[in-house]
């Protein structure tokens, strides 16, 4: 989604803004622009396409100097992709950039039209600039406060007022903004990846507060003009984590980071290397008292992690667990109460639908626990309890290391809760924790299968449709394999519970159609082999994945990927890595933009 960077200080602002926008490219965008003060007047340069094109345009305007400005990458929502619709937008004395959506922009536009004011773009953002300009009488904060009363929707703004040079005003409601103050100046951005080159210490601008950035200071006030000191946060990663580090793509780098990200996620939560311990996360055991039901809510890959979590939790806890797609859940009048534990899962911690579902659960006074990667994000802050995944920044749009880190957290929750409930013994729990730790070397081994998988992908990359099938945990993994492949290779694929194929979909399985068959679960292994025979009888091209060696009849597959042997419940970790590599190499063979697939954004902050 859109990216924001703002800077005022002692550096060349144009460079700071362009570097910030480059760092934010991973979020997905279709145009980019900057606005800055040059000799006390505001200059704007914007373009459709890549930040590199914007950089070229800026470089050719070298007559401009600046130490204060704002920059934006736009992911079109209202109005097509065009230079005019790109941000920043200027109206009168106001120039601004915006993330989010102004839902009542049309009503505002009609009101402004009655005053003879008309936009030149088709965007909701320009209407916000027009509104602010119409309310501005020389006092920026007063105008912003009046505008807040009129604006509906989710938004983050960085605003320049023409008659207040070198100052940036910021405001947010729903969409994130993080800021830091350094000796080089004040910086604000939509995410930490753009700030990290200046500082590891930052704060999240609280919602409905106004930040005023000057060269030496950031002042945050609430809507009653009371100055507040936001809580400072710290990240333990640096610039190298936000670079490719020798890999051709962020996605491949992040796939290879999984042993480390799982280790970092589980190690601090295992007491004496034996039992789960959430005391450092300040999650008391009482959270699990009187819980009769668990509802897991998330979107996309995070939701698929929830599908695995459901199997693990129901197995260990013997209480019902449902997994809900956040965009559906929020409109379903869900049955949740004070005895429900609602677990939200989100890499970004900002996904609009997941956040809305969490808010709904908070209204119902359910207990809320979130599994989040980004510190201080909205979902983390609004949940009763948070388990952070320590995966480091995930830059590729396709989620990989966040997914397996989410699985690790879900497994730990299941073990911890089961111990508290007494549904597993300490000895069993110790054994399961050992199995979880064994996942790390097993993933390292799985990564050595990359060349073998790459060769299979050469064949897959020429296909237009394929299927993933599996049973039990393998069905949950099939869903994840399918979304990963679709999003970065643009090959149509579907995930099916293997036993369900013959109830309709088998009619689509014809000669040469690839079927990626996951057979890692011993309790349904023979059933799975029968299902593979069904597709083989229709001459499907079968890619079989098994957990350890298997003496399966070689006539039923074309390719066989043998995972390092793990217990059934741990097989999702290694299977996920194979599915990620399958998607990755298929996309590479098709010559696509692996890290920034078309139409997609990393952090989906709109509904």
The residue (of 186 and 351) whose beta carbon lies closer to ligand F6R is: 351
How far apart CA 302 and CA 407 sit, in angstroms, is: 9
The residue (of 24 and 317) whose beta carbon lies closer to ligand F6R is: 24
Displacement of CA 349 from its chain's centroid (Å): 7
Instruction: Tell me which residues touch ligand F6R (CB under 6 A).
Output: 299-302, 346-348, 351, 354, 398-399, 483-484, 487, 603-604
The residue (of 28 and 71) whose beta carbon lies closer to ligand F6R is: 28
Cβ proximity of 465 and 283 under 8 Å? no
Least distance in Å: CB of 50 to ligand F6R?
21
| Residue 91, token pair as written in the block | 């109206």
Nearest residue to ligand F6R by CB is 300
The residue (of 298 and 529) whose beta carbon lies closer to ligand F6R is: 298
Displacement of CA 49 from its chain's centroid (Å): 22
How far apart CA 180 and CA 230 sit, in angstroms, is: 11
Least distance in Å: CB of 378 to ligand F6R?
11
* Whole-number Cα distances in Å, 506 to 501, 520, 539, 540: 5, 22, 11, 10
The residue (of 171 and 299) whose beta carbon lies closer to ligand F6R is: 299
Pairing of strands 232-234, 340-346: unpaired
Phi, psi (deg, nearest 5) at residue 204: -95, 125
Rg of the chain on CA atoms, in Å: 25
The residue (of 369 and 483) whose beta carbon lies closer to ligand F6R is: 483
Least distance in Å: CB of 576 to ligand F6R?
11
Sheet with strand 293-298: strands edge to edge: 321-325, 293-298, 340-346, 367-372, 385-388
Least distance in Å: CB of 536 to ligand F6R?
30
429 is catalytic: no
Instruction: Please tell me which residue in 367, 375, 401, 602 is annotated as part of the active site.
Output: 602
| Torsion region of 273: left, alpha or beta (phi above 0 gives left; psi -120 to 50 gives alpha) | left
Sheet with strand 541-547: strands edge to edge: 492-497, 465-470, 514-519, 541-547, 559-563
Within 422-472, where are the H helices?
Answer: 426-447, 450-460
The residue (of 194 and 604) whose beta carbon lies closer to ligand F6R is: 604
Least distance in Å: CB of 386 to ligand F6R?
14
Q: Specify the DSSP element, H or E, that contains 327.
A: helix 326-329
| Residue 495, token pair as written in the block | 């995930």
How far apart CA 235 and CA 78 sit, in angstroms, is: 34
Least distance in Å: CB of 346 to ligand F6R?
3
Cβ proximity of 570 and 436 under 8 Å? yes
The residue (of 30 and 191) whose beta carbon lies closer to ligand F6R is: 191
SS3 category, 343: strand
Cβ proximity of 356 and 326 under 8 Å? yes
Within 115-191, where are the H helices?
Answer: 124-135, 140-150
602 is catalytic: yes
Instruction: Please tell me which residue in 2, 68, 158, 180 is annotated as part of the active site.
Output: 2
Q: Specify the DSSP element, H or E, that contains 258.
A: helix 258-266
Least distance in Å: CB of 37 to ligand F6R?
34
The residue (of 17 and 241) whose beta carbon lies closer to ligand F6R is: 241
Q: Is the peptide bond before 88 cis (omega within 30 degrees of 0)?
A: yes
Neighbours of 339 (CB within 10 A): 13
Least distance in Å: CB of 560 to ligand F6R?
26
Using CB atoms within 10 Å of the CB of residue 374, give its burial: 0 to 12 exposed, 13 to 18 middle, 19+ buried: buried
What residue ranges in 396-540 does DSSP mark as E strands? 465-470, 492-497, 514-519
Least distance in Å: CB of 97 to ligand F6R?
22
How far apart CA 519 and CA 70 sit, in angstroms, is: 52
How far apart CA 446 and CA 371 sit, in angstroms, is: 25
Least distance in Å: CB of 402 to ligand F6R?
6
| Residue 418, token pair as written in the block | 């089961």
First to last CA, the chain: 12
- Adjacent-strand bridge partners of 181: 186
How far apart CA 2 and CA 155 sit, in angstroms, is: 11
The residue (of 217 and 593) whose beta carbon lies closer to ligand F6R is: 593
The residue (of 133 and 487) whose beta carbon lies closer to ligand F6R is: 487
Least distance in Å: CB of 396 to ligand F6R?
8
Neighbours of 258 (CB within 10 A): 28
Residues with catalytic function: 2, 602
């Amino acid at each position: 989604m859109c990216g924001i960077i703002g800077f005022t200080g002692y550096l060349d602002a144009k460079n700071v803004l362009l570097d910030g926008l480059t760092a934010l490219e991973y979020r997905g965008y279709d145009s980019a622009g900057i606005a800055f003060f040059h000799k006390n007047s505001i200059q704007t340069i914007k373009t459709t396409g890549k930040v590199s094109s914007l950089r070229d345009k800026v470089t050719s305007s070298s007559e401009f100097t600046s130490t204060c400005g704002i920059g934006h990458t736009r992911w079109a929502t209202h109005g097509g992709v065009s230079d005019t619709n790109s941000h920043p937008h200027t109206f009168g004395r106001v120039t601004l950039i915006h993330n989010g959506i102004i839902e009542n922009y049309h009503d505002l536009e009609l009101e402004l039209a009655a005053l003879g004011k008309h936009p030149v773009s088709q965007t909701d953002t320009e209407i916000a600039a027009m509104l602010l300009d119409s309310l501005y009488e020389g006092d920026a904060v007063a105008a912003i406060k009046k505008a807040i009363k009129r604006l509906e929707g989710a938004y983050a703004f960085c605003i320049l007022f023409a008659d207040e040079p070198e100052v940036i005003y910021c405001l947010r409601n729903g969409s994130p903004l993080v800021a830091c103050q350094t000796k080089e100046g004040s910086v604000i951005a939509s995410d930490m990846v753009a700030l990290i080159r200046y500082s590891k210490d930052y704060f999240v601008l609280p919602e409905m507060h106004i930040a005023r950035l000057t060269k030496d200071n950031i002042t945050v006030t609430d809507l009653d003009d009371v100055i507040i000191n936001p809580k400072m946060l710290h990240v333990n990663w640096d610039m190298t984590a936000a670079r490719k580090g020798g890999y051709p793509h962020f996605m491949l780098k992040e796939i290879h980071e999984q042993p480390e990200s799982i280790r970092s996620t589980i190690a601090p939560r295992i007491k004496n290397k034996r039992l789960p311990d959430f005391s450092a996360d300040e999650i008391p055991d009482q959270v699990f008292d009187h819980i009769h039901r668990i509802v897991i809510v998330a979107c996309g890959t995070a939701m698929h992690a929830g599908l695995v979590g459901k199997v693990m939790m129901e197995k260990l806890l013997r209480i019902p667990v449902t997994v809900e797609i956040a965009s559906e859940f929020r409109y379903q009048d869900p049955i949740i109460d004070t005895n429900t534990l609602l677990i939200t899962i989100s890499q970004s911690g900002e996904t609009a639908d997941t956040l809305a579902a969490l808010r709904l659960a908070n209204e119902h006074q359910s207990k809320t626990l979130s599994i989040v990667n980004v510190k201080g994000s909205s979902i983390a802050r609004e949940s009763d309890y948070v388990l952070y995944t320590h995966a480091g920044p995930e830059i590729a749009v396709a989620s990989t290391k966040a997914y397996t880190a989410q699985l690790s957290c879900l497994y730990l929750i299941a073990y911890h809760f089961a111990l508290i409930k007494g549904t597993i013994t300490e000895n069993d729990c110790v054994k399961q924790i050992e199995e979880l730790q064994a996942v790390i070397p097993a993933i390292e081994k799985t990564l050595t299968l990359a060349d073998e998988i790459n060769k299979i992908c050469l064949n897959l990359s020429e296909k237009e449709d394929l299927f993933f099938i599996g049973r039990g945990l393998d069905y949950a993994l099939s869903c994840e394999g399918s979304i990963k492949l679709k999003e970065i290779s643009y090959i149509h694929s579907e995930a099916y519970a293997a036993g369900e194929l013959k109830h309709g979909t088998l009619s689509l399985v014809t000669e040469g159609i690839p079927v990626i068959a996951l057979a890692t679960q011993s309790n349904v292994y023979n059933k799975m082999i029968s299902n593979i025979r069904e597709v083989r009888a229709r001459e499907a091209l079968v890619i079989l994945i098994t957990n350890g060696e298997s003496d399966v009849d070689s006539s039923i597959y074309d390719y066989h990927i043998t995972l390092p042997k793990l217990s059934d419940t741990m097989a999702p970790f290694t299977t996920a890595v194979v599915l990620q590599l399958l998607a990755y190499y298929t996309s590479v063979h098709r010559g696509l933009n692996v890290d920034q697939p078309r139409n997609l954004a990393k952090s989906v902050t709109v509904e």
